[in-house]
Amino acid sequence: MTETLASSSERKRTTRPWDRGRPLDHGPKSSRSARWIALFLAPTLILFTLYTVWPSLSSIYYSMLEWRGLGQTRGFTGLENFARLLSDDLFWKSLGITLLIIVVTVPIRVGASLVLAIMLNNPRLPFAGLLRTAFFVPVVATTAIIGILMGFVLDPSSGPVNAALELVGLGPIDFLGSSDTALGSVMGVHVWKWMGVTLIYWLAALQTVPRELLDAAEVDGAGAWQRLRHVTLPLLAPFAVIITLLTVVETMQIFDLVVTMTGGGPFFSTMVTEVYIYDTAFGDGRPDLGYASAIGVAFGVITVLLIGSLTALMTLARRRQERRR
C-alpha cells in the first residue's frame, strides 16, 4: 500500500513539472506549435525589417555622409550634419510649426470626437448609423486627393467657400495664399479629415462601459450629466492616454496634406518638418540627401522623446486622479 501511494505521488510529481518551475511541455507538440508560430510571424518580421528597421539604420548611416544623390561621391563627415542642424533656422521653424499643429489639433480632435462619440453612442439618437458613416467618409478618401480638392474649394476666385462669403459681404479670402490663414486652413482640413478615426477610437472605448453601472446610477437618481461625469468618464480615462498618443502620431504624419495644399508656403508658413526633409533631399535646388537624413534622424529622436514624455505625464496624471478617488 505504501509503495502504491509512493508511486502515485511520484507520477503526480513527474506529470506536474510546473511545480518545480519547468515549462509545461517540451514534447514534439510544443515544438510544432513553436514552428507554426514562427512561420506565421516570419512574413511580418521580414517586412518590418525591410521597410522599417533597414531604412532607419540606413538613415543613420547616410546622416554621417556628404551625399548629393545617386552617382555622386559619398564623403564621411561624422556629426557635421548634426552640428549644421543646430544652427539651421528653417529646421527649427519647421519643428515649431509641427509642434504648433499638434498642440492645436490634437485637443480639438480628442475632445470634439469624444463629445460626438457620446452623442452617437446614444441608442435613442435617430440616424446614428448614418451620422457615424458621414463622419468616417473623409477618412476613406486619399489624403492627397483631399488636399487637391480643398485647393479648389478654398480658391479665392472660384471656390464655393469664397462664393458663400461674398454673399454675406465678407469678400474673398485667399485661405491658402496668405501666410496669415494658410496654416489655420491646413489644420482645419486635417481635423475634418481625421476626426472619424478618433471618433471610432472613442466609440470602441464606450462599448467597454458596463451598462449595469449606468442603469444602477440611473436607478439611484443620477441624471445624464452625473452618469457621464461619475461613471462614463472615469472608466474612459485609461483609454484617453492611448487615444491621445495615437492622435499625436497621426498628426505628425501630415506631409501629404501640406504638400498638396500649400507645398510648405506661402513664405514657409506651413513648412512642417516632413516637408522640409523632402525639400532638402529632392527639392528644386541642390539635393542634399546626407543632410536630409540627419534631419530625419533628429526628427525621429524628437518624436520618440515627445511620445515618451506625453506617455509618462498622462500616466502620472491618471494615477494621481485615481489616488484622489
List the domains of the chain with CATH numbers: 84-324 (1.10.3720.10)
In this model, does residue 184 exceed pLDDT 90? yes
Percent of the chain scored above 70 by pLDDT?
88
Longest distance between any two alpha carbons in the chain, whole Å? 105
In terms of Cβ atoms closer than 10 Å to its own Cβ (0-12, 13-18, 19+), residue 170 is exposed
Could you tell me the pLDDT band of residue 145, with boundaries at 50, 70 and 90? very high
pLDDT of 194 over the 60 cut: yes
Res. 4: pLDDT tops 60: no
**Peptide bond preceding 266 in cis form (omega within 30 of 0):** yes
Kindly list the distances between the CA atom of residue 107 and the CA atoms of 13, 55, 82, in Å, as whole numbers in the listed order: 58, 32, 32
pLDDT at 72: 66
Find the range with the poorest average confidence among 131-135, 189-193, 283-287.
Answer: 283-287
Between 171 and 34, the more confident residue is 34
Contacts of 148 (CB under 8 A, 6+ apart): 260
Residue 23 has pLDDT above 80, yes or no: no
Can you tell me which residue has the cell 440611473? Answer: 218
**What is the predicted pLDDT for the residue at 2?**
46
The length of the chain in residues reads: 325
What confidence category does residue 78 fall into, taking pLDDT thresholds of 50, 70 and 90?
confident
253 pLDDT more than 80: yes
Q: Which of 46-60, 211-225, 262-276 has the lowest mean pLDDT?
A: 211-225
Q: Is the pLDDT of residue 127 over 90?
A: no
Mean pLDDT of all residues in 87-113:
95
**pLDDT at position 195:** 94
pLDDT of residue 102: 95
User: What share of the chain has pLDDT > 90, as a percent?
Assistant: 51
Between CA 155 and CA 265 the distance in angstroms is 15
- The overall average pLDDT reported for the chain is 86
User: Which of 67-81, 121-135, 255-269 has maximum average pLDDT?
Assistant: 255-269
Asked if pLDDT for residue 77 goes beyond 90, the answer is no
3 state DSSP class of 66: strand
Which DSSP letter does residue 176 get? T
User: For 73, which DSSP code?
Assistant: P
Q: Is the pTM of this model over 0.85?
A: no
Q: Are 276 and 264 in contact (CB under 8 A)?
A: yes
